[in-house]
Amino acid sequence: MQPISTPPEVSIVVPIYNEVDNLPDLVTRIEAAMRSQPLSFELIAVDDGSRDGSGKLLLELARTRPWLRPVLLARNYGQSSGLQAGFDRVRGRYVVTLDADLQNEPDDIPLLLNRLETDPDVDMVSGWRKDRQDAALSRKLPSKIANRLISQATGVQLHDYGCALKAYRRHIIDRIHLYGELHRFIPSLARDAGARITEVPVRHHARTRGVSKYGIDRTFRVILDLILMVFLMRYRQRPLHAFGGVGLWLATPGFLILAWLFLLKLFGHDIGGRPLLIVGVMLVLMGITFVAAGLIGELLTRIYYESGGGQQYYVNEPETSSETGANSPA
Ligand code: UDP
Ligand code: MG
């Protein structure tokens, strides 16, 4: 890798897993697209532990291309970690992401960048595959449902969460951290980090080389992640209000039932054989458990913010990347 003295204006991040047949075209077409517009660029190509020689090919391609920066991960960590590895290394004031399989159109990159350049009220431009070229039943339908669910649940309404082609102002990227499967929720995370988001229709092609790494089997994981996202967006700062709320809704009827039975007992009725007794005791115990979980969550939250790890808020200063609201005294 050759050092570049002045940082580029745009950092393009591409996660790569077993895409050796796509890489030469990808690199050529990204270069052509970027040379057609005025901003300088770098391509951070993250090899996510490929076993088909993608990493080696990247190193080779980089030898004659100073703007190509390969990052070779030690094993396959997944798309989110691949993207994060790229995000950790960006130097530009704009960041662009796209897939390595050429399903996204590199020629659309200038379109997204132009929007960021000309519209100061937008921090993130998300591609919208209006004419998506994937299998209808196994890919498009689940993704349509997922879009609805995620839009509803996180309150960030988009047509196409899953489009990898996106462009951001740098400070947004600095504020989000991807792991696990969270790349599916980047717009929600970005919104949470203060991004004003817009969607722009982009082209989409069928995969012509290599195979898709994802199937329909991920539904349950996505549902669990969705629950996590809602929790993160709404209750991250007050876990007691999420768990404790459930706890009180359970414990209150439980207490009423027990009080009622207590009165009956007081007036000489036999309450031993009543299923209601068990229900009352169960509800109260479950309620106490939920409140306790909320308190533990609250404790963790306090530790998180007070240790300086958590950002409680972000200040609206678009072109600076370090303005955060760490809760610790600085
Ligand atoms: N990818 C990755 N690590 C993985 C799986 C996928 O870096 O563990 C990359 C892959 O090479 C591609 C992008 O993530 O650039 C999207 O993957 P894919 O095209 O298989 O997903 P699909 O478009 O079918 O949803
Ligand atoms: Mg793909």
Tell me, using a 6 A CB cutoff, whether residue 83 lines ligand 1: no
pLDDT (0 to 100) of residue 68: 98
User: What's the pLDDT band for 4 if we cut at 50, 70, 90?
Assistant: low
Tell me, using a 6 A CB cutoff, whether residue 17 lines ligand 1: yes
Average pLDDT over the chain, rounded to an integer: 91
CA 253, CA 48: separation in Å to the nearest integer? 52
Given the CA of residue 14, which atom of ligand 1 is nearest to it? Answer: 15
ipTM: 0.98
Tell me, using a 6 A CB cutoff, whether residue 320 lines ligand 1: no
Mean pLDDT to the nearest integer, 13-26: 98
pTM: 0.87
pLDDT (0 to 100) of residue 328: 42
Tell me, using a 6 A CB cutoff, whether residue 19 lines ligand 1: yes
